[in-house]
A and B are shown apart, each in its own frame.
Chain A
């Protein structure tokens, strides 16, 4: 036989549990939402520029043979052509706005490694490795998407498998401090 206080107690426990569960669901949703990639400031279409217009990767990402980061094009590189084109799409209209105001475009980075990884484009590009090998067929994409699971195992799948290397170089490629300086 249940008395009134115990019924109240049961009710309280249930309400608390429900509230906590609700908080959990909300929290999880918030957490999930916060981990999603933010949208790009303007929808740059790689397919149009690479596949249709035939631009090479290095035309915009020109620092790849020279340094760690391949770099992003300065606004003037876009404007060089788009100055002469009617801004018909939302992306080109946004570009025009940035250029008129002399503002930098706040791109969201696509191919990112964690802070503890040291990656330099220069040695890879200078070895003749083409961009598609690591970044996939970006020319077929509209807005650039990252390669999934571009992790250490994936890097090592190449670093351990290269033909025609001296033992010293092969060791260096697989040694920790090369990439985790």
Chain B
């Protein structure tokens, strides 16, 4: 035998041993069955081992206020579901409610009170700092900056500021900026005479004409609207509702529409006027003054929308169906004339009423007759930032909003924060604003919180949605209301007399007790403690019957022109991420892993670009481009998307965090950095008026996409670049 080669004996030796190793090492791992059982330290009477205990509470991931039922086992929350009895969401939830469990048990949560620099302090020291701030700061220099949830904390803080003589709390957030709530309220005042965000009863509609309102994804109260949408489509036997969507970038709502009209950005107001005029013509009546000036053919041409389609919609609305509603939302309100555009679209409903159509718009009655504090306009926020820069704000309390991330850089919030001598943050996570705070006194997450929320939009009756903790607080956090009340007790004197509550629950119980007198609720009780127990058991209080009445619309005077824009090559649509929304829960792997409904992109930011635009620029999927506006620049990977106008780019919010936790940090880009300080005529941000230029960077960053990467639209992820024709020089190679 040739000794150079491997002998049979060698092979058998190796094979035998190798096989044995493979067999053993590929066996099972450590026993998972020895998972530790940890019984309670103090077992509540109602909690039996292995048996689930369900708590009704409310979601606070967005301001809508959907009711939840959370399943817990032995003191641990394991599943979130919607509360089937809650009038707003009727058992439905969105992705963020479901993922709230990962917010509760998130390892990157703030675990206890800290002073600037990360030094751990006791709660006593934290409360002392708050007490000193309340006592020593001149009242006009105290500012409370709160989030958008219309909750008990806002009401308590309002009472506190009244007692102090300080300015009322300011509610704001990135969502408010891109939802333009104040614009809607102002337009509603002009058309309905009521300054509040209207609710559009699309469940009853046969034709819905939505201008940019992405009600199936994130707009105002998406779960309630999604349920209503289902009723519109399938809730009326023999009749299926029709949806027309007018927007420059196809949202998921647009993808569900029967007719999607990508009007040129800034012309949606003209489209509304044209539709109004065409409707009047189809009905054979004189159009009202406001609609009489527009020339539909001219408007259609300016808007780059086929006139026949507008005529078809107008005819259908007038001749073929009874119930029609038009709703404004999204980027359509974000142009520099957004206020007028909103009025024009709402006025369409006034026109429809004149043509004999029933009103499908109502206003959610405020629970207990008490409307929540309105969110601030962008103008008011800029005024606040200016006050901060001028050194007029001496103590700033921040809760439920992350200014350093959510405010566009153009406002200069960071430099403004540095001018405030005392900043106290109540954030539950170490977000971008916390390093600017002198004290970080983390609040509980909403699954550990008491409270209530007065539902503002989406419900057809008064709803006071209740919160209760479903678990004992996981970390050493405290309810912000408790911290403030403890500080007030410390200050004592007149302040403690005017704000006399010992703790948060006492305040909440007092407000809830107001409803015990009512006899139109879903439950009654004679004893206050029984009423409180029923309040917690039901997850809130609401009326037995729907009480919202249809609002009558007028047609006010309108001044709608094509919107003007700044310099730049492309229009920019900044939209709330369909899953992450404003990005407050970006440190949540479940949410990051959930694919965006239209593009299926996960874990990153993308720039939506039409295939023609991409070809012109010479970019494909996953090429990184730099998008620059007059106010900032960001880089993100391209997603070639046919559902967008070639002259428009769209970038979702939510990513681009520099803090917040390991899954959010340094991931993607924040398109809010591209926005400026302009307003839209109603004080809200003109976030749709920004134009940008795009530059190839030459990098590639493959996006994680759930869809088939070979290509849904026939192109491929790795499409070969068009070979340039041979030139004299290249031939030599």
Contact = CB atoms under 8 A, between A and B. Distances in A.
Interface of A: 2-3, 5-6, 9-10, 13, 16-17, 20-21, 23-24, 27-28, 31, 34-35, 37-38, 63, 66-76, 98-99, 102-109, 112, 114
Contact of B31 (A35, A63, A68, A70): A35
B237 interface: no
B39 A5 contact: no
A76 B41 contact: yes
Interface residues of B, number: 32
A74 B14 contact: no
A16 B21 CA distance: 13
B4 A24 contact: no
B85 interface: no
Interface of B: 3-4, 6, 10, 13-14, 17-18, 20-21, 24-25, 27-31, 33-43, 48-51
A24 B24 contact: yes
A34 to B, nearest CB: 4
B21 A109 contact: no
A74 B33 contact: no
B48 A66 contact: yes
Given A67-B49, A74-B43, A107 B21 contact: no
A104 B48 contact: no
Contacts of A5: 3-4
Contacts of A72: 37, 39, 49
Given A27-B25, A31-B27, A37-B34, A6 B17 contact: no
A21 B31 contact: no
Nearest to A7: B3
Given A24-B24, A76-B41, A76-B42, A106 B36 contact: yes
A102 to B, nearest CB: 6
A72 B25 CA distance: 36
Contact of A34 (B10, B29, B49, B50): B29
B21 A23 contact: yes
B13 A73 contact: no
Given A9-B3, A34-B29, A74 B42 contact: yes
Contacts of B10: 9-10, 13
B50 A69 contact: yes
Contacts of B41: 74-76, 98-99, 102-104
Contacts of B13: 13, 17
A9 B49 contact: no
A75 B17 CA distance: 51
A68 B21 contact: no
Contacts of A108: 34, 36-37
Contacts of A69: 49-50
A107 B3 contact: no
B39 A105 contact: yes
B4 A109 contact: no
B252 to A, nearest CB: 37
B270 to A, nearest CB: 63
B510 to A, nearest CB: 31
Given A23-B25, A104-B40, 8 more contacts: A9-B10, A21-B17, A34-B29, A34-B31, A67-B50, A106-B38, A109-B35, A112-B33
Contact of A71 (B18, B31, B34, B48): B48
Contact of A31 (B4, B6, B24, B37): B24
B17 A74 contact: no
A9 B36 CA distance: 51
Contacts of B18: 20
Contacts of B21: 20, 23-24, 27
Contacts of B33: 109, 112, 114
Contacts of B17: 17, 20-21, 24
B248 to A, nearest CB: 51
Contacts of B3: 2-3, 5-6, 9
Contact of A105 (B35, B38, B42): B38
Contacts of B20: 24
A2 B4 CA distance: 10
A162 B3 CA distance: 72
24 contacts: A5-B4, A9-B3, A9-B6, A23-B25, A24-B24, A31-B24, A31-B25, A34-B30, A34-B31, A71-B49, A71-B50, A73-B39, A74-B43, A75-B41, A76-B41, A99-B41, A104-B40, A105-B38, A106-B37, A107-B36, A108-B34, A109-B35, A109-B36, A112-B34
A63 B42 contact: no
Nearest to A98: B41
B34 A74 contact: no
A75 to B, nearest CB: 4
Interface centre among B13, B25, B49 (most CB of A within 10 A): B49
A6 B5 CA distance: 8
A118 to B, nearest CB: 12
The 9 closest A-B pairs by CB, nearest first: A6-B3, A71-B49, A106-B36, A104-B38, A69-B50, A74-B43, A34-B30, A72-B39, A75-B41
Contacts of B39: 71-75, 104-105, 107
A114 B21 CA distance: 27
A40 to B, nearest CB: 10
Contacts of B40: 74-76, 104
A160 to B, nearest CB: 27
Contacts of A107: 36-39
Contacts of A66: 48
